[in-house]
Amino acid sequence: MFADLLANNPVIELAPMAGVTNRAFRRVCKEASAEIRDQAGQTDSDGTVYVAEMTTSQALLMRNQETLDLIKFDGDENIRSIQLYGVDPKIIGRAVEMVVAEELADHIDLNFGCPVPKVTRKGGGSALPWKRDLYRDIVTSAVKNANGKVPVTVKMRIGIDQDHVTYLDAGRIAAEAGVTWVALHGRTAAQYYGGEADWSAISKLVEHIPNTPVLGNGDIWSAADAKRMVTQTGVRGVVIGRGCLGRPWLFGQIRSAFAGEQIPSEPMASDILRWLKRHATLLCQMHGDEFYGAREMRKHMAWYLKGIVVGSETRGQLALISSLTELDDLLATIDPNQRLTEDIAHSPRGRTTPEKKVTLPEGWLNSQNMSQVEQETVRTAELSVSGG
């Protein structure tokens, strides 16, 4: 399946985003993207890789119910893609073995990009590739246990900070271990989500591991950006995170761009409001609880409504909805005949946390190999993780 994917137009991947890329969101991306291409008279075939929310390998092995729910897929999700986080090669290996044996997914991505202090403080996430021995053992164990049956990929950042860059070594080690691709977010952990992603690092990785596909990630806000990422860096695909928040149709526009077709224009407010409602309905169905689903939808409101004229009182009420009827009543007050302008549609959204110092275990940067004490510390890095 992935050989076909890599043989055709550049790969398009929905970046794993904790708290966002659940079944409801993946479905709305799929539907809105197919629809926008249909409206433009283009035939669609969706090879987009929509990655689910990250799960920890330990929780998966323990069959934690919340974790198992995170990797539930709808029957028509043709590429069931999961992201695993782990710090122990044996546990990662066993989790991968379980995924393969029980046919839980068609793709396993490994997360080495998390910059959250509670994770890096213990040597996990984006702090981990600094320790080349541990990183190599984790990736090798995952690839070995996938046994050629499920493609394993890695996702990483440039490094800890500008003085402790890891991506070239980590990319080479992953390539040697036999991963299917390496996705690089062009920021260091210290950069968090601030500033601009450095696409020149992505080009360097492409040159550094010529026999392993590289996917580029960071600051793709439009189909034109996706095309530019491919031509500028030579990547075999793109990974889209914040650009699709409130803009689930973006994947359809990128598919058109990669197919050399006219990029469908930005939708009318009427379509956006309909997809917003669809997203809310799917969240309520997914949780089996209308209040819970409506409450989760609140955080998506500002993203969907960016660039649409909505009274400030209505905006405030939308951010506090508790039911679908309430949502309907509020959406009915918005003028549906507005069209999103390109500059607003393509402007940054989502997290913008600026540069900050990375919290690491004591003495972590002194050596690129693990000490006995560090092994103990890192083992506890898996316990309280949530997203990257």
Chain center to CA of 195: 19
Binds ligand FMN (CB under 6 A): choice among 70, 220, 294, 318? 220
- Interface with ligand FMN includes 159 (CB under 6 A)? no
Q: Are 365 and 164 within 8 A, CB to CB? A: yes
Q: Which residue of the set 29, 114, 244, 284 is catalytic? A: 114
Q: Which one of residues 242, 255, 306, 346 is an interface residue with ligand FMN (CB under 6 A)?
A: 242
Residue-wise burial string across 1-25, b where 16 or more C-beta atoms lie within 10 A, e elsewhere: ebeebeeebbbbbbbbbbebbbbbb
Residue from 18, 214, 308, 358 in contact with ligand FMN (CB under 6 A): 18
Contact call for residues 310 and 329 (beta carbons, < 8 A)? no
Phi and psi torsions of 30, nearest 5°: -60, -50
Q: How many CA atoms lie within 13 A of 289 on its CB side?
A: 5
Give the single-character DSSP code of 156.
Answer: E
Taking CB under 6 A as the rule, does residue 336 contact ligand FMN?
Answer: no
Total site size for ligand FMN, rule CB under 6 A = 24
CA distance linking residue 320 with residue 274, whole number of Å: 19
Q: Near ligand FMN by CB under 6 A, which window of 18-26, 40-48, 354-362, 375-383? A: 18-26
Q: Smallest Cα–Cα separation from 178: which of 70, 96, 55?
A: 96
Q: Indicate whether 185 belongs to the interface with ligand FMN (CB under 6 A).
A: yes
> Is 10 a residue that touches ligand FMN (CB under 6 A)?
no
For residue 214, state whether it binds ligand FMN (rule: CB under 6 A).
no
Q: Quick one: which of 77, 265, 350, 375 contacts ligand FMN (CB under 6 A)?
A: 350
For residue 53, the SS3 value is strand
Active site residue 114: yes
Q: Which stretch binds ligand FMN (CB under 6 A): 2-10, 15-23, 224-232, 328-336?
A: 15-23
* Active-site residue set: 114
Q: Which residues bind ligand FMN (CB under 6 A)?
A: 15-20, 54, 83, 111, 113, 155, 185, 217-220, 240-243, 350-351, 387-388
